[in-house]
Chain A
Amino acid sequence: MAGFGKLIFWRRRERMIGKASRSRRFDIALENAQGTGFLALLVGLMCFLVMIAVAASFALSAMSERWSSGLENKITIEIPAETANGDPRDKKTLTALSEQVQAMLAEIPNIKSIEPLSDADVSELVKPWLGEDLPLSDIPLPALISIETHNSDDANLDSLSVKLKNISGNIRLDTHEDWLLHLLRFTKTLQLTTFLISLIVGITTIIAIAGAVKARLAVLGEQIELLHLIGATDRYIAKQFQTYSFFVSLKGSIIGALVCGVFLLFIGMLFGDMAANLLPDFHLSFRQVMLLCCVPIIISFFAMMTARHTVMSALGKLP
């Protein structure tokens, strides 16, 4: 905003001494018009909101990628800690069943790798839900075997399921598909929401800029008519508004972007190192940062084009 302060200083000085101190950037008194600071502030806020929405979209994208990557062809076999009738299985029985399943799996050519999870691994998995303080050794935990297949089509899965049922009726096969699909659908919905928010903010910005330009057209109507009468083309006049709108929007959106950058850094510091895998990744890649940096330029470009369109259609009414 220092630029505006400097401008006001020069204007006051000029009025006091009655001399123009420097040559003008615009033939029309656009810089003197009221509301320039307000417009910049508005664009800054819009830029902040758009950047937050875009950053959220990046985070959601990273989250869904993390959830889905590596889970393809990965299956978890769960041997429950109780029988189909509800009778508890002791540790020895569970281990025996697990070994039996592993032996069966080893004979299937479609199985790429077999990795039985240790008790410690299983305990670690249930800790976030049951808490750190509970004595997990007292709770009957299922035996889990993580496997990777070459091909997870329905025929292979059905065949595997039948073989597991032959060992024990209540052994479950978890392909992660159900919960993952729901989560991915949820993140896609959130991404669509952020896109819609960006779109609404963008449209609002365009409407605000068009309104500001129309107000200036009304206030500076005499000056515009003068330029028109001494031979200025519509393009010449529109260019003045374009340049003005571009630089005001650029000033505003750079300030908005800087505030957003500080905000994202703060969020990154707050959540970035959290170990919980369910939380989105708040660290932005270099490419994503570059894309975010483009937001002020894109907003300024749209402001410029909006100003051009508004001025050109207004000038079309002149003789």
Chain B
Amino acid sequence: MIKFEHIGLRYGIGPEVLTDINFTLEPGSFHFLTGQSGAGKTSLMRLMYLGQRPTRGAINMFGHAINTTPRAALSEIRQKIGVVFQDFRLLNHMSSFDNVALPLRIKGTPEKQIKKDVTELLEWVGLGDHMDTLPNTMSGGQQQRVAIARAVITRPRLLLADEPTGNLDDEIGIRLLNLFEQLNKMGTTTVIATHDHHLIERFGYPRMVLDDGSLHIEKHGSWIRKKLEGVF
């Protein structure tokens, strides 16, 4: 469970970019995070993947009170979070295989297992022929798929994706959202920041809407319908 209570965030002495954020994400939930540009989506994502400490308030993740958790123990919590960054953040000196293998290597997974899992996943995202390719020679869509593969390779408990389908055509975008759904059904709590209203409509999960630094959760009509029909 992820719980944000009265979270506020400001950079330096500037104004608060996030004001009194409160929400709880139940294990296995799926949310879209939306909001206009500059609403604080990236800041909220940074707080969620522990890339930033809040100025005020309390965060609880997977049973750990982040404010009081020793810094050294945060690495273990981060290993349970998969992140797809908006700018991908791929390491250009490494092949796409090594980029995807990185979280597994950090966790100390045996190389044999890494080879099997990474090969399987890269083939699944349609990059089976690009395992040795350096990211900076790939197209935006291909790089995005490598970034997504890297985020999901460890089957994280929380998956955060910032505009994950931005550079992809509709077909691949939907295919990747299906992958996120599959992971979600296996228990991964998923939050996807996106502007793509078609995608939000199509999948119909609840929306976390950021507006001027404040957050409210909207249960989407189609999601409520699915819930009533007993899909979940």
Point out residues on A near B: beta carbons under 8 Å. 14-15, 18-21, 23-24, 27-29, 32, 222-223, 225-234, 236, 316, 319
Chain A: CB-nearest residue to B53: A319
Q: A227-B106, A231-B75, A231-B78 are in contact. Are A32 and B93 (CB under 8 A)?
A: yes
Would you call A233 and B75 a contact (CB within 8 A)? Answer: yes
Number of interface residues of B (CB under 8 A): 34
B95 near A29: Cβ-Cβ < 8 Å: no
Do B106 and A232 have beta carbons less than 8 Å apart?
yes
Say yes or no for B49: interface residue by CB 8 A criterion: yes
Of A15, A225, A230, A319, which one neighbours B103 at CB under 8 angstroms? A230
A18 to B93, CA, bound (A): 10
B75 touches A19 (CB 8 A): no
A interface majority secondary structure = loop
Q: B132 on the interface (CB 8 Å rule)?
A: yes
In the complex, how many angstroms separate the beta carbon of B86 from the nearest chain A beta carbon? 13
Which residues does chain B contribute within 8 Å of A222, judged by CB atoms?
A: 89
Report A-chain residues with C-beta under 8 Å of the C-beta of B133: 18-20
Q: How far is the CB of A76 from chain B (nearest CB, A)?
A: 71
Q: Does B76 contact A (CB under 8 A)?
A: yes
Task: Tell me the complex Cα distance, A23–B51, Å.
Answer: 28
CB contacts (< 8 Å) of A229 on chain B: these are 49-51, 78, 83
Whether B78 lies near A230 (C-beta < 8 A) is yes
A contact residues around B89 at 8 Å (CB): 222, 226
Q: B83 touching A230 by the CB < 8 A rule? A: yes
Interchain CB contact (< 8 A) of A29 among B93, B102, B150? B93
Question: When chains A and B are docked, how far (Å) is the Cα of A232 from the Cα of B71?
Answer: 12
In the complex, whether B134 has a CB less than 8 A from a CB of chain A is: yes
Distance (whole angstroms) from the CB of A176 to the closest CB of chain B: 64
User: For residue B91, which residues in chain A have a CB less than 8 angstroms away from its CB?
Assistant: 27-29, 223, 226
A231: which of B71, B76, B93, B134 is its contact (CB, 8 Å)? B76
Encode contact with A along B81-95: 1 for CB under 8 Å, 0 otherwise: 101000001011111
Q: Is the CB of B94 within 8 A of A27?
A: yes
Chain B residues closer than 8 Å to A20, beta-carbon distance = 94-95, 97-98, 132-134
B134 touches A236 (CB 8 A): no
Instruction: Assess the B78–A18 pair: CB atoms within 8 A.
Output: no
Q: How far is the CA of A233 from the CA of B95 in the complex (A)?
A: 22
**Cβ-defined contact, B72 with A14, below 8 A:** no
Is the CB of B64 closer than 8 A to any CB of chain A?
A: no
Contact partner, A319, options B51, B76, B105, B137, Cβ 8 Å: B51
B42 within 8 A of A: no
Give bound CA distance, A225 to B150, whole Å: 16
Does B79 have its Cβ within 8 Å of any Cβ on chain A? Answer: yes
Report B-chain residues with C-beta under 8 Å of the C-beta of A19: 95, 132-134
Cβ B93 vs Cβ A319 within 8 A: no
Interface centre among B83, B89, B97 (most CB of A within 10 A): B89
A29 to B136, CA, bound (A): 14
The chain B residue with its CB closest to the CB of A316 is B71
Of B76, B103, B106, which is in contact with the most chain A CB atoms at under 10 Å from its CB?
B106
CB distance B106 to A231 under 8 Å?
A: yes
Is B52 an interface residue when CB atoms closer than 8 A count as contact? yes
Q: Report the Cα distance A29→B98, complex, angstroms.
A: 13
**Separation in Å of the A235 CB from the closest CB of chain B?**
9
Give chain A nearest CB distance to B146 CB in angstroms: 13
The CA of A52 and the CA of B39, in the complex, are separated in Å by 64
* Nearest Cβ on chain A to B155's Cβ, whole angstroms: 13
Residues of A within 8 A of B75 (CB): 228, 231-234
26 contacts between A and B (CB under 8 A): A14-B134, A15-B134, A18-B133, A18-B137, A19-B134, A20-B94, A20-B97, A23-B98, A24-B93, A24-B94, A27-B94, A27-B102, A29-B91, A32-B93, A226-B91, A227-B102, A229-B49, A229-B50, A229-B78, A230-B79, A231-B81, A232-B75, A232-B106, A233-B75, A316-B71, A319-B51
B105 to chain A: which residues have CB within 8 Å? 27
Q: Would you call B107 an interface residue if the criterion is a C-beta within 8 Å of the partner chain's C-beta atoms?
A: yes
Determine the chain B residues whose CB is within 8 A of the CB of A225 once the complex forms.
Answer: 51
Contact yes or no, A234 B72, CB < 8 A: yes
User: With contacts A20-B98, A21-B132, A27-B105 known, what are 11 further pairs, Cβ within 8 A?
Assistant: A20-B133, A24-B98, A29-B93, A226-B89, A229-B49, A230-B106, A231-B103, A231-B107, A232-B75, A236-B106, A319-B53
